[in-house]
Amino acid sequence: MGCVQSLRRCKAKGLREGVCVLEVNASIDPDPTSVDESSSVVLRYRTPHFRASARLSVPPITSTETWTVGWIQACNHMEFHNTYGAKGMSSWELPELRDGKIQAISDSDGVNYPWYGNTTETCIIVGPTRKESKFTVSMNDNFYPSVTWGIPVGRSDEHLLSSVRRDQSFTTWLVAINQASGETLVLRTVRWRMRLHIEVDPQKTLGQRTRLCEPIAQEQPLILSKNLPIPTNAMVKPNANDAQVLMWRPRTGEPVVVIPPKYCADI
């Protein structure tokens, strides 16, 4: 089971004073990660979904102002290591986060900063309004990557992948932002984590190589009793997908950048 918070309805004259979170839900699906060995080029896996939803009410707004209410997410920690026997490992990395230069990086969709998305994830309230507004905003997130069976440098077709490990942590905020002034109200804060360990025996027949070593169920998210502030990097470019870099880290020798970040910045 995930976390659920319910609150009594609030009474006030405007959004700033009276936006009320009636209920918040946050959970990770109980299904284990599924592993797909159908490709002779890559191993694919799909993790269970993190899901968050909130039901809110907003009293009548007397002034001419526009607010966006929705979900903002940032990545606080990422380890994504693919080991290739004695050869070394590949690693998706967020350099500034890895080196401690920042504490979080935006996990926006890369278009609608700072929001995680702009469909079910947000709702826009345009004042003035004559009556109370009630609405729900929701989001979901999971991982569905591909990992090459062979080392990601050179031309070797030899299947050497022996382990996949992943450990990522996120903070997800329910937020209201005034579009004109930029005033930001943090309404709720959720922390969650996704871990993964897949053992691979590259000597076995394709389709019989992998063993999922993670717990059957992930740790459930926490809805914090006290809200956390949103770091600046969670609100602006780049997002995690554009900032990440794929490194090859051989057992001996210098690391190699396999895929540079999409976002042009000093890493």
What does the pLDDT read at residue 217?
Answer: 77
> Is residue 222 over pLDDT 80?
yes
What does the pLDDT read at residue 46?
Answer: 96
Q: Which residue(s) pair with 56 in the sheet?
A: 21, 135
> Is residue 8 over pLDDT 50?
no
What does the pLDDT read at residue 17?
Answer: 73
What does the pLDDT read at residue 267?
Answer: 38
Higher pLDDT, 267 or 148: 148
Distance from C-alpha of 40 to C-alpha of 161, rounded to nearest angstrom: 12
Tens-place pLDDT, residues 56-79: 999 888 888 899 999 999 999 999
- For the chain, give the mean pLDDT: 92
> Is residue 224 over pLDDT 90?
yes
Cis peptide before 128 (omega within 30 of 0): yes
For residues 246-253, average pLDDT: 95
For residues 175-201, average pLDDT: 96
What does the pLDDT read at residue 49?
Answer: 97
Tens-place pLDDT, residues 19-41: 999 999 999 999 999 999 999 99
Residue spans of the domains in the chain: they are 3-259
CA quadruple 250, 256, 258, 261: dihedral sign: positive
For residues 222-228, average pLDDT: 98
What does the pLDDT read at residue 2?
Answer: 66
Tens-place pLDDT, residues 78-89: 999 999 999 999
What does the pLDDT read at residue 7?
Answer: 45
pTM: 0.92
Q: Using 50, 70 and 90 to split pLDDT, how confident is the model at 12?
A: very low
What does the pLDDT read at residue 114?
Answer: 97
Strands (E), the chain: 3-6, 20-28, 34-36, 42-46, 50-58, 66-84, 88-93, 105-106, 122-126, 133-141, 146-148, 163-178, 184-200, 210-212, 222-223, 245-250, 256-259
Q: List all residues 6 or more positions away from 264 whose beta carbon is below 8 Å from its beta carbon.
A: none
Q: Using 50, 70 and 90 to split pLDDT, how confident is the model at 245?
A: very high
Distance from C-alpha of 29 to C-alpha of 143, rounded to nearest angstrom: 13
What does the pLDDT read at residue 181?
Answer: 93
Query: What is the Cβ-side half-sphere exposure of residue 195, based on CA atoms within 13 angstroms?
Result: 10
